[in-house]
Structure 1
Amino acid sequence: MFTGIVQGTASIVAIEEKSHFRTHYLTLPTAMMAGLELGASVAHNGCCLTVSAVNDGVVAFDLMKETLRVTNLGELGVGDEVNVERAAAFNAEIGGHLMSGHIMCSAEIVKIVTSENNRQIWFRLPDKNLMKYVLYKGYIGIDGISLTIGEVVQDKFCVHLIPETLARTTLGKKRLGQRVNIEIDSQTQAVVDTVERVLAQRDAMSATSVTSL
């Protein structure tokens, strides 16, 4: 599990390509290296990846076909940066919201509005059916960052970013047309799905009652 509080950014120093598979080699911030072992979980742009090797400060992570398909990690090259966060400890402060590191889809940046000390970024989801989980003032994970949804309009939504978020994460460098990884808040998804299921059952019972009359 993760908190969505990004601990820093890390540069990709090498990429090893294989058929429907690749390995990323990163230099993590020094503070994140303490106690890092094989098998540890580290979120890259919100995607939970497993440490497969540690060599002289360079850490390797394997990305399988499904990860490359669903996330934006397959679009990255040597020199690109990712938001990174190590898995949360049981006694850690949850400053954002609980996140699994399982990316549901990627969203396109369709609008950026910059003003003094603030930035508003609009995103479009690839599937309009996912918008039912995107609620005003609800939580959402964007490239591993726990953020609050600012506005929702049809198939688009926005977030408002403070200078600290822009400085600490890669969102400050994002441009129009780029994709970001999206993790829908699991509690929101559970509530919405439960309500839909209850309403569907109620409608089915009502239809059965009318038919039997």
Structure 2
Amino acid sequence: MFTGIVQGTAEVVAIEEAEAFRTHVLVLPEPLREGLEIGASVAHNGVCLTVTAIDDERVAFDLMRETLRVTNLGELAVGDRVNVERAARFGDEIGGHAMSGHVMATAELVELDEAPNNRRLWFELPHALGRFLFAKGYIGVDGASLTIGEVRPGTATQGPRFCVDLIPETLARTILVDRVPGDRVNIEIDPQTQAIVETVERVMAARGE
């Protein structure tokens, strides 16, 4: 489990490609390597990955076909940076919201509004995920736990859109400061919101409503 409180960023320093498979190597800062062992879970842009090798500051992770298909990690190149969060431990403060590290889709950044000391980002999602969007609800964007500011419904030619507002601390700690229109980010819907919406849908379907 993760909390969506990004602990820092890490640079991709090597990539090994294979058929429908990829290994990438990050340089992790020392605080993020403390107690790290092979088999541990580390979120990259909100995607839960398993440590497969540790060589001092260089830490390797394998990406399977489904991960490459659903997330933005397959677009990474050497020199790119990713948001990083170690798995939560019992007793940790939950400053964000509970996240599984299972990305559901990517969203495109379609609008960027800069203002003093903050930044508003608008993202467009696939139509199927629009029913999970609620103003003031939680959402995971590239692994960062954020609050939805506003929601715009989708149309026949455009998916639903939502915005988030980023404070200076979030901009300083994450790669969201570098995102520009056209970029794609990983999206994890709040698990509680998903469970409630899908339960209500099943109950209404059973009643024929």
TM range (shorter): over 0.9
Unaligned runs of 5+ in 2: 154-159
Q: How far 1:56 sits from its partner (Å)? A: 2.1
Q: How does 1:20-169 map to 2 (within 5 A)?
A: 20-125=20-125, 127-154=126-153, 155-169=160-174
SS of the residue corresponding to residue 193 of structure 2 reads helix
Q: Structure 1, residues 9-39: CA drift from partner, whole Å, max 9, x if none?
A: 0000000111111101001121011110000
Percent identical:
66
Structure 1 residue aligned with 2:19: 19
SS of the residue corresponding to residue 192 of structure 1 reads helix
Unaligned runs of 5+ in 1: 205-213
Structure 1 residue aligned with 2:156: none
TM-score (norm 1): 0.94
Q: Aligned equivalents of 1:203 and 1:72: distance in 2?
A: 39
Q: Aligned equivalents of 1:196 and 1:63: distance in 2?
A: 33
Q: Aligned equivalents of 1:64 and 1:83: distance in 2?
A: 19
TM-score (norm 2): 0.96
Residue of 187, 190, 195 corresponding to 1:190: 195
- Opposite residue 147 of structure 2, the aligned amino acid is T
Q: If you compute each CA radius of gyration, which structure gives the higher value, 1 or 2?
A: 1
Structure 2 residue aligned with 1:209: none
TM-align CA RMSD: 0.7
Q: Aligned equivalents of 2:40 and 2:128: distance in 1?
A: 34
- Opposite residue 150 of structure 2, the aligned amino acid is E
Q: Aligned equivalents of 1:194 and 1:23: distance in 2?
A: 38
Aligned length: 203
SS of the residue corresponding to residue 22 of structure 2 reads strand
